[in-house]
Structure 1
Amino acid sequence: MPTHDMTAARGEPDPAATDECMIDDELISELGADIVTRSADIDPRYFTAYNEAPGPRPRALVRPRSVDDVSRTLALCMRLGQPVVPQGGLTGLARGAFALEGEIVLSMERFTGIESIDVSAGTITVRAGTPLQTVQEAAEAAGFTFGVDLGARGSCQIGGAIATNAGGTRAIRFGMMREQVLGLEAVLADGTVVSSMSRMLKNNTGYDLKQLFIGSEGTLGIITRAVLRLRPKLAAPATAMCRVADYATVVRLWERMRAVPEVVSFEAMWPSFYRYVGSHTPDVLAPFAGEEGFAVLIEYATSAPGCDATETLEACLADSFEAGLIDDAALATSQRQARDMWLLREGLAIDALPNLVNFDVSLPTGELGTFAERCEAALQARWPGIVSLFFGHIGDGNVHIGVSLVELNNTLADELDRTVYAVVQEMGGSISAEHGIGVLKRPYLSCTRSDAEISLMRRLKAALDPKHILNPGKVL
């Protein structure tokens, strides 16, 4: 995977410059030994990226219990020129929360909890360390639905989900994380707390400052609290898996299903992906054989009283079958069957493939079929016999690719990235649909963003973090 040198030429602090400052002593003096852990005592999970070996040991670990703790930490680190990497649930796939050499880790795991729910406004106020599943459950208990759902719901944190503008399986219905945030509080590199905890849907008062921090991956400020939108509560969903002949027909099916206003998810699995997960997912029986054709997972859920989701989805499938869009279909008749369908789509089985490299790209929905063909052809031309599996949130133009090589080193990983992202760039797509840039995609940002855009990003970074202490080496 790509690695990056944090050099003084980029205006970033030299970690060696703070060696004599004994940063852990300074932090303990400021915050206390309950909040600060010395380097030698840090558990490896705080310096281990998802599905990888441990990396460099951080200089210290800070686990704040309050916004004031975060503010004091950053003020001290700014004074010392000490780099800080903020961490949430550590479920990201771009090494965005991975501690580089000489950094301290600021984990938000202790700053957790639901502060309030405003039923009339339809909002929930939460702390950054709160797991997504906790927010979902609190929303359900109050008679609402939260608009974002991810496979890592039990461990990913709200602050991290906002900082990476997480997407997930409900984006076609409710949008990405950005669309859920009404108000936000963040701490700047110098310790300044910027709190704009608005609970109003309409708030047109100058610059929308919260947008600076959403999707910035902790490089402009550390998110501490948020006011999130809640949606009318959804009844139990209906779930189905369909077999569709080819990608062009998948698009036609999507165009038909899109007209049904309460479709929550529209997910597609290319034939090779479906064959693999169908035969390698324990205790799950695939609804139909996967010799050919695409598998499409559709979930429908309504908030309208008296509407039967299963009957509605069944009628939609019948119409699509008559129109020649579906060759076969299975409608889940139990929560277990629906769960099994989602387990296939989530594709956890591919994690066992050797040297798996994950890609997360987006293009207009109608172009994803051509992209997959061109991308696979480019990969096969370079590495004959390579395993490349395509699947994803087709309704919002996001496809994931799992690529497995028998042998992999940094040089080959760089070449693999260049091969995939060259096709993305040629077709005008995005190298990151929902996983962020982090470390891994930083060398390829120009495949998606123009020189003028990147220059503006750097000007914003310099203005808000002049010493480059916040998550340096990430994004830019």
Structure 2
Amino acid sequence: MAASGGNGEQEVTAVLLKELGGDLVSLGGAIDPRYFTAYNEAPGVRPCAVIRPRTVDDVSRALALCSRLKQPIVPQGGVTGLARGAVGLDGEVVLSMERFAGLEEIDTAAGTVTVRAGTLLQTVQEAVDEAGFALGIDLGARGSCQVGGNIATNAGGNRAIRYGVMREQVLGLEAVLADGTVVSSLNKMLKNNAGFDVKQLFIGSEGTLGVITRAVLRLHPKLAPPATALCRVAGYDAVVKLWHRVRATLPSVISFEAMWPEFYRFVAANTPGVTAPLAADDGFVVLIECASSEAAALATDAHEALEQCLGACFEDGLLDDAALAASTRQALEMWTLREGLAIDTLPHLINFDVSLPIGVIGAFAARCRAALGERWPHAVSLFFGHIGDSNIHIGVSLEDLPLHGEDAVDRVVYEVVREMGGSISAEHGIGRLKRAYLGYSRSAAEIELMGRMKAALDPLGILNPGKVL
């Protein structure tokens, strides 16, 4: 649903500047490129204005004003998503939440933290750790992504198999509607069935139904230092068997990450300063991390438990080799390999974030690679992912991509996802990049219902137009 603008850009910017003030509004050359640059891409189109609110009232006034002007506005967090959902288009206003940051309360009795939307995820993690708790969400972009964006995209990350995705972390939420109405429900209770759970409307809606301003997040017992290991198995079926064994015998498991042979070979050879602890051959490499709560760690050592589990798996033929990190540095190096930043050096890299039932992910990867190779014999396709939560990432590189276009590659990958009953988006949302393929994973009735919700909450279509629907 597109917005119906009715005012010229000069008129809009003049009104914004007059009614909100120069402290909140930036125009023209004063707008830093970071506000119109998608992750790992060149700068795009400069928005007509950037609004940087300091309070909830600032957000409310900005949205009410844009509603009056019928002015499209794009809520923006840390811009770390891969679907271009937080980058404005020509003539749009960007609402950056970076100034509305900070923790408001850690309630040790309730086990919750109340946080403003613009707060960096890492800032929250460090604060709750100091208070004796752990946050249930962790992402590679922790140092730059914002909590509001994590909620708006229902982020997953590395701890989903232990704590669930972002939706499971949110107890209460405050959001501002397109007309400026503030809907505040900063609930701290695990059980609250007083009518509709309206916060669910905004979680995962990518700023198309309202702007998230504050949230109450669940906290968990503080974790002891984790135990980390890399394992090598013969094939994807062995990865699944290992996952079920680890899940059954290690209740402290927090991460289970799989790397296909081609991916591991590439990152092992192209990650400066890191020596791969396992040989890069034709086997799958799995990263396992376990972390008990501090109290439980007094009785059960995670390193010992992981070592015993891997030993039993080796005896039963599930593993070909394994390396247990002997220090924090070795664990970080293992994670550096898994995070795969080395693949960003590949020419014209396209990143995919999809999910499928765990049992078919191996077949999906094989079919996807074959489909890409049939169309482009020189294509490089690398597969890795969380696996335990059904999520797989794909990096596709074509040296002559400009001759073909990203859409052609997208279509090949998403056709296989659709045929195998998967989702075109596991944890980065739909944004603008995947909008044309939403029907591959959602029925016509579901999309029509989403449209009804959008029309009810944002009848003028000013909130993040051209995204999701």
TM-score by structure 2 length? 0.98
Deviations 1:135-182 (A, max 9, x none): 101110111000000000011000000000000000000000000000
Instruction: Determine the structure 1 residue equivalent to 2:100.
Output: 111
Instruction: Determine the structure 2 residue equivalent to 1:282.
Output: 272
Deviations 1:264-307 (A, max 9, x none): 00000000000000000000000111121000000000011412
Give the deviation of 1:29 after TM superposition: 1.7
Deviates more, 1:327-336 or 1:305-314: 305-314
Instruction: Determine the structure 2 residue equivalent to 1:373.
Output: 366
Instruction: Determine the structure 2 residue equivalent to 1:334.
Output: 327
Instruction: Determine the structure 2 residue equivalent to 1:191.
Output: 180
Instruction: Determine the structure 1 residue equivalent to 2:283.
Output: 293
Give the deviation of 1:54 after TM superposition: 1.1
Deviations 1:352-404 (A, max 9, x none): 10000000010111110000000001000000021000000011110000000
Letter in 2 for 1:432: S
Instruction: Determine the structure 2 residue equivalent to 1:155.
Output: 144
Instruction: Determine the structure 1 residue equivalent to 2:155.
Output: 166
Deviations 1:101-133 (A, max 9, x none): 110000000000000011011000000000000
The partner residue of 1:386 within 366, 374, 379 is 379
Note the 1:99-138 alignment, pairs <5 A.
99-138=88-127
Note the 1:199-278 alignment, pairs <5 A.
199-259=188-248, 260-278=250-268
Letter in 1 for 2:207: G
Structure 1 distance, partners of 2:243, 2:111, is: 30
Q: Contact conserved, 1:314 with 1:331, CA < 8 A, in 2?
A: yes
Deviations 1:14-65 (A, max 9, x none): 4xx3216622221122221111111231011100111111111101010000
Instruction: Determine the structure 2 residue equivalent to 1:402.
Output: 395
Give the deviation of 1:410 after TM superposition: 8.2
Deviations 1:298-337 (A, max 9, x none): 0000011412110010001001101101100000000000
Instruction: Determine the structure 1 residue equivalent to 2:64.
Output: 75
- The DSSP-based 3-state class of the residue aligned with 1:223 is strand
Structure 1 distance, partners of 2:436, 2:253, is: 37
**1:325 maps to 2:296:** no
Instruction: Give the gaps of 5 or more residues in structure 2.
Output: none
Deviates more, 1:45-54 or 1:146-155: 45-54
Note the 1:40-119 alignment, pairs <5 A.
40-119=29-108
Letter in 1 for 2:441: T
Give the deviation of 1:13 after TM superposition: 1.6
Q: Contact conserved, 1:23 with 1:60, CA < 8 A, in 2?
A: no
Structure 2 distance, partners of 1:410, 1:122, is: 54
Structure 1 distance, partners of 2:19, 2:379, is: 53
Structure 2 distance, partners of 1:366, 1:410, is: 36
Instruction: Determine the structure 1 residue equivalent to 2:423.
Output: 430
Letter in 2 for 1:288: L
The partner residue of 1:31 within 4, 20, 25 is 20
Q: Contact conserved, 2:261 with 2:285, CA < 8 A, in 1?
A: yes
Q: Contact conserved, 1:70 with 1:191, CA < 8 A, in 2?
A: yes
Give the deviation of 1:409 after TM superposition: 3.0
Structure 2 distance, partners of 1:323, 1:389, is: 29
Structure 1 distance, partners of 2:400, 2:62, is: 42
Compared CA separation, residues 94 and 71, structure 1 to 2 (3 A): same
- The DSSP-based 3-state class of the residue aligned with 2:427 is coil
**1:344 maps to 2:344:** no
The partner residue of 1:364 within 357, 371, 380 is 357
Structure 2 distance, partners of 1:66, 1:12, is: 25
The partner residue of 1:313 within 283, 306, 311 is 306
Deviates more, 1:103-112 or 1:297-306: 297-306
Q: Contact conserved, 2:71 with 2:92, CA < 8 A, in 1?
A: yes
Give the deviation of 1:411 after TM superposition: 5.0
Structure 2 distance, partners of 1:109, 1:395, is: 33
Structure 2 distance, partners of 1:409, 1:221, is: 36
Compared CA separation, residues 271 and 474, structure 1 to 2 (3 A): same
TM-score by structure 1 length? 0.96
Q: Contact conserved, 2:229 with 2:325, CA < 8 A, in 1?
A: yes
Instruction: Determine the structure 2 residue equivalent to 1:3.
Output: none
Structure 2 distance, partners of 1:369, 1:23, is: 52
Structure 2 distance, partners of 1:22, 1:401, is: 44
Instruction: Determine the structure 2 residue equivalent to 1:4.
Output: none
Note the 1:140-151 alignment, pairs <5 A.
140-151=129-140
Structure 1 distance, partners of 2:182, 2:254, is: 36
Structure 2 distance, partners of 1:50, 1:35, is: 24
Give the deviation of 1:12 after TM superposition: 2.4
Instruction: Determine the structure 1 residue equivalent to 2:464.
Output: 471
Note the 1:413-424 alignment, pairs <5 A.
413-424=406-417
**1:440 maps to 2:433:** yes
Structure 2 distance, partners of 1:353, 1:222, is: 36
Deviates more, 1:42-51 or 1:65-74: 42-51
Letter in 2 for 1:151: G
Compared CA separation, residues 47 and 410, structure 1 to 2 (3 A): farther
Deviations 1:427-462 (A, max 9, x none): 000000001000000000000000000000000000
Structure 2 distance, partners of 1:266, 1:118, is: 31
Letter in 2 for 1:45: R
- The DSSP-based 3-state class of the residue aligned with 2:262 is helix
Q: CA RMSD in A?
A: 1.0
